[in-house]
């Protein structure tokens, strides 16, 4: 997944770039995992991707794969690298191990997981991370007003906190140009979504290819939201003409 970002200052730009890389890595991991089992199209139907927050402040993304033959594996995204971990023996929950010696063990039960290194087939307690499943709240509508002049301008003035996101759906006609201008410094990011709520590789300004709605989603990068904790305001003007 890629995102459309508009830099205001150096700090905000660095967070956007980090979030863009993280999102793209997640998508690559899911695609790679799908190809590990027979038939990519079939595998995608049996793939789920879950994000976790760990006790050291880091994020962990895991793609879970269940193959038709009954085998299962997890793709762990650790420090920007993928680790393929087949399912292993576990007394409770599900345990995935990338390598019995010098690899990673991911032991998950319900919404909690433990990430540890392995040595001689044993999970090492030293340095283990305790992670909790992270579920973002459902997006809400952005607070906005509409003005008409040289085109139609949607003026969004809102705040978000943590993983909170807001959506705006803008009616467009084929051939119309859509532009976006941030009205104040903010670390927020704007994503252009398709019909399946997946982010598109699009940047502003853009030209609408067909009649319909442009679906926008606005929120803070995860790393920035975790660091600040407080609600962050933003102001954004979307113009269609």
The string of DSSP letters for 163-187 reads T-EEEEEEEE-TT-EEEEEESS---
Is 136-240 a domain of CATH 2.60.120.380? yes
What mean pLDDT do residues 55-68 have?
A: 83
Is 46-133 a domain of CATH 2.170.8.10? no
Residue 160 · residue 220 · CB < 8 Å? yes
pLDDT tens for 99-151 read: 989 999 999 998 899 999 999 989 999 999 999 987 778 899 999 999 999 89
The pLDDT value given to residue 16:
43
The CA distance from 179 to 240, in Å, is 7
The pLDDT value given to residue 229:
74
Average pLDDT, the chain: 80
Predicted TM-score (pTM) of the model is 0.54
Question: What share of the chain in percent tops pLDDT 90?
Answer: 45
Confidence band, pLDDT 50/70/90 cuts, at residue 72: confident
Residues whose CB falls within 8 Å of the CB of residue 195, separated by 6 or more in sequence, listed in order: none
The pLDDT value given to residue 71:
79
Domain ranges within the chain, ordered by starting residue: 46-133, 136-240
Residue 154 · residue 144 · CB < 8 Å? yes
**Is pLDDT larger for residue 172 or for residue 93?**
172
């Amino acid at each position: 997944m890629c995102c459309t970002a508009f830099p205001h200052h150096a700090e905000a730009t660095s967070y956007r770039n980090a979030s863009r890389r993280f999102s793209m890595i997640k998508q690559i991991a899911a695609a790679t995992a799908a190809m590990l089992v027979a038939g990519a199209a079939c595998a995608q139907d049996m793939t789920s991707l879950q994000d976790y927050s760990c006790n050291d402040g880091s994020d962990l993304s895991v793609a879970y794969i269940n193959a038709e033959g009954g085998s299962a594996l997890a793709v762990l995204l650790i420090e920007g690298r993928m680790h393929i971990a087949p399912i292993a023996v576990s007394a409770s929950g599900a345990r995935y191990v990338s390598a019995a010696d010098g690899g990673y063990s991911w032991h998950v039960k319900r919404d909690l997981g433990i990430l540890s290194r392995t040595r001689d087939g044993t999970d090492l307690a030293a340095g283990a991370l305790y992670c909790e499943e992270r579920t973002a709240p459902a997006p809400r509508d952005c607070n906005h007003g509409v003005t008409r002049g040289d085109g139609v301008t949607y003026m969004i003035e809102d705040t978000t906190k943590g993983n909170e996101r807001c959506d705006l759906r803008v009616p467009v006609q084929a051939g119309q140009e859509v532009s976006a201008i941030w009205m104040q410094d903010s670390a927020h990011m704007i994503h252009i979504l398709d019909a399946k709520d997946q982010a598109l590789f699009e940047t502003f300004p853009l030209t609408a290819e067909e009649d319909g709605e442009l679906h926008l989603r606005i929120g803070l990068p995860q790393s920035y939201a975790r660091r600040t904790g407080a609600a962050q305001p933003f102001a954004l003007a979307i113009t269609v003409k």
